[in-house]
Amino acid sequence: MNDTKVEGYKIPWPLRLRELGAIIGTVAFFILFSIISKEFLSVANLGATFTMAAELGIVATGITMLMISGEFDLSVGSIFAVVPMVMAIMINHGFNEILALIVAMLVGVGTGLANAFITLKSSIPSFITTLGMKMFWRGILLAVTGGFPIILSHKSKVLNILGGPLGGGLRYSAVWFILIAFIFWFILERTAYGNWTFATGGNLGAARALGIPTERVKITNFVLSSVLAGFAG
């Protein structure tokens, strides 16, 4: 029997959405908090809330790709801080802002590759591998910064485009989140790579038997997870 029908009755498409529970929960929270506080639905508050959620959303997008393919990344929190630290240090030392951004993002790429190589070549669970990477970068952060934020010596045009104010309480990071979320939704739902990712995480042996490059898929998703975490930072 078709799972979209119950005894001959076709279930409306909104009720077939996997995301329906999350949508209902979000609407319920908005209603609850708007009752508790009249200022909750103000433009400024909604803008600030969405901006804060955007950074986490960008990180979550990368982790989602990796989790679908059957792995996990605990190091994203440290990468979230390391990448902007590298960029800030380079800018303060007079390097070109674009070059600083490229080098900082390469740190994210390198971290993702290291996580993938250790996990796949040594058969160590990604939970353990990325936990170790998290502690490694956290140690570097404390050694370099002493636990204090790095203050830029001058305003950065590049950083302003990445996360500067947009108006109405919003920042550019919210725009980046919407763009990134749409791109990765399209990849997962409309491309062969999305199918490969689902297949790799769903049944690794069957995916390999079908000729899917499962190792390449996992490596790519490890890198995407690290890069998006660094970009969000």
pLDDT for the residue numbered 7 = 52
pLDDT for the residue numbered 55 = 86
pLDDT in tens, 157-184: 777 777 776 766 677 888 888 899 999 9
pLDDT for the residue numbered 12 = 57
pLDDT for the residue numbered 6 = 45
**Start-to-end Cα distance in the chain:** 48
pLDDT for the residue numbered 100 = 87
pLDDT for the residue numbered 168 = 63
Measured distance CA(201)–CA(71) in Å, rounded: 8
pLDDT for the residue numbered 223 = 95
In the chain, what are the domain boundaries? 1-41, 47-232
Q: In which residue ranges of the chain is pLDDT below 70?
A: 1-19, 165, 167-169
Q: What is the pTM for the complete model shown? A: 0.82
